[in-house]
Structure 1
């Protein structure tokens, strides 16, 4: 079975109707097929939930023969467990870029992480449903996603600690803080980024109030 990697969207685009169709190598064709199956699964889970994401529906959406599915994934559950880790890699890449673009200030970098998360949800609106059902329907993938995001946040906080930007130093407290920040952004996204199941751009007040919390400007 091929290694579980995040499928390239370029591979999907190459096989879309109307797109240029250069001669592809066998490996490129395989990558493109796997990517189409992957993107179809993301769409179906995001629209209808994990329970509706049958192999038949995924392959029909991807326009791939049903038997071909098992050339790329061991089972339906294998594919579903790979969705969140793959999206987690995409999320990390976008947030990392936004943090690098932010002013050289710890709180500005943290604001960039929250704003970047909202931006990612606008690009990938299915993420919220995939996360919310993932704890039950794809626990292996959910745990991998959570650990990837936790590790990313711990690295970010450790970077700030080394630069003298954190008031805490204990590794356990840093780990707890990383979970608090991850939970905060996911709760805020559920509260302010969706209306009637559709993504809406959250008000700038959300990030501004988050900054007040970070700077200790809430209580007298």
Structure 2
């Protein structure tokens, strides 16, 4: 006797809506990465997502509304990726190595991030502000964690803000210099992380 296979469950309305929204979002990430914010139109987004233009407004108020959501969403993904790597590290220096290495790993997985980020302050200022706030708060908490455990060479909590922005700025500029060549991502040479860690050694015990 042949057993009947269970019928494949069809996605419900909420699941279909979520899938469509994700398709629009992913399409926008790709389009901005390829054409920049200025070249990102609703027509291009919906065409890439495979939906009608009118469908766009069921999920986003405007083109700018979607563009301002890109960086904060990617920022949350970046935070999760880095956190996963840091949890597996042992010791303050190894945790910092995990942070910078995970950042470069994420760029390899999301090569469109660089253009989205570099044009963000002008083209999506609200999204950029939220991204910067998220990344700063995340790194500030990490530095506070190390300070509370005596793992930093500084002792004044007020200096945490300076250290946080120094390290965040370092990874942004290093990625611009070593990770993107002719608009394409390339894995940074090992000496980039090694040199960064020599600098980090002046901050971490």
TM-score band (shorter)? Answer: over 0.9
Match for residue 116 of structure 1? Answer: 102
Select the structure with the greater relative contact order (CA < 8 A; seq sep ≥ 6).
2
Q: Give the superposition deviation at 1:105.
A: 1.0
- How many residues get paired? 196
Q: Give the superposition deviation at 1:166.
A: 1.3
Residue number among 173, 185, 195 corresponding to 1:187 in the alignment: 173
Residue by residue, what CA displacement relative to the aligned partner does 1:58-101 show, whole Å, maximum 9, x if unpaired? 01110111001011001100000000000001100100011011
1:78 aligns with 2:65: yes
Residue number among 40, 47, 63 corresponding to 2:34 in the alignment: 47
Q: How does 1:136-147 map to 2 (within 5 A)?
A: 136-147=122-133
Kindly indicate whether the alpha-carbon contact (under 8 Å) linking 2:153 and 2:202 is maintained by their aligned counterparts in 1: no
1:56 aligns with 2:32: no
Q: How does 1:140-179 map to 2 (within 5 A)?
A: 140-179=126-165
- Structure 1 residues without counterparts, runs of 5 or longer: 1-20
Match for residue 87 of structure 2? Answer: 100
| TM-score normalized with structure 2 length | 0.93
> Displaced runs of 4+ in structure 1, greater than 4 A?
none
Q: 1:161 to 1:45 in 2, by over 3 A?
A: same
- Structure 2 residues without counterparts, runs of 5 or longer: 1-7
Pairwise CA RMSD of aligned residues? Answer: 1.3
CA distance in structure 2 between the aligned counterparts of 1:149 and 1:69, rounded to whole angstroms: 29
CA distance in structure 2 between the aligned counterparts of 1:148 and 1:162, rounded to whole angstroms: 21
Q: Give the superposition deviation at 1:22.
A: 4.9
CA distance in structure 2 between the aligned counterparts of 1:93 and 1:211, rounded to whole angstroms: 22
